[in-house]
């Protein structure tokens, strides 16, 4: 067995202290974004609505306090719907919401799939 003495450089790099307030500040400066699972659900819905010729364009905005997926009928209009993720509302009414053109909240909840169910087509007896 070979006995190695640690060099002073190895000791210095392994004992680095990171102030928690710096880490928290950096984490708070990062914008809110949709994770892969959420974006997959939203884009699956978007694909269905494009195939039904109801939606034509989208935009994604990431701000420090919320993420917004805006849906457009035409690129030159105001968004038809906005799917919003607001982590500050997670404990109260739910982090996810769907807003109409005028800013009215159509549906809010804790689970994205349940909120997106607003767009599910209901079968009607003819």
Question: Is there a domain that residue 11 lies in?
Answer: no
In a domain, residue 22? The reply is no
Q: Residue 7: inside a domain, yes or no?
A: no
- Does 19 map to a domain? no
Question: Does residue 115 lie within any of the structural domains?
Answer: yes
3-20: pLDDT as tens digits: 555 555 555 556 777 777
Into how many domains does the chain fold?
1
| Residue 110 pLDDT exceeds 80 | yes
Backbone angles phi, psi at 111, to 5 degrees: -115, 130
Q: How far apart are CA 34 and CA 66, in angstroms?
A: 9
CA gap 9, 18 in Å, rounded:
18
Residue 49 located in a structural domain:
yes
Query: What's the chain's average pLDDT?
Result: 82
Domain hosting residue 49, numbered range: 30-119
Other CB atoms within 10 Å distance of the CB of residue 121: 7
The answer to whether position 51 is within a domain reads yes
Bridging pattern class, strands 67-72 and 57-62: antiparallel
Q: Is 8 a domain residue?
A: no
The pTM for the full model equals 0.72
CA–CA separation, 116 and 118 (whole Å): 5
């Amino acid at each position: 067995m070979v006995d190695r003495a640690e060099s002073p450089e190895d000791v210095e790099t392994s004992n680095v202290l990171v102030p928690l307030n710096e880490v928290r500040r950096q984490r708070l400066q990062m914008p809110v974004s949709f994770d892969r699972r959420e974006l997959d659900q939203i884009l699956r819905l978007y694909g269905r609505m494009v195939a039904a010729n109801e939606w034509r364009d989208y935009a994604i905005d990431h701000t420090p306090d919320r993420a917004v997926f805006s849906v457009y009928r035409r690129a030159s209009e105001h968004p038809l719907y906005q799917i919003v993720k607001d982590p500050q509302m997670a404990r109260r009414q739910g982090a996810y919401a769907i807003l109409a053109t005028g800013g009215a909240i159509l549906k809010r909840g804790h689970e994205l799939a349940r909120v997106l169910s607003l767009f599910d087509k209901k079968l009607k007896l003819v």
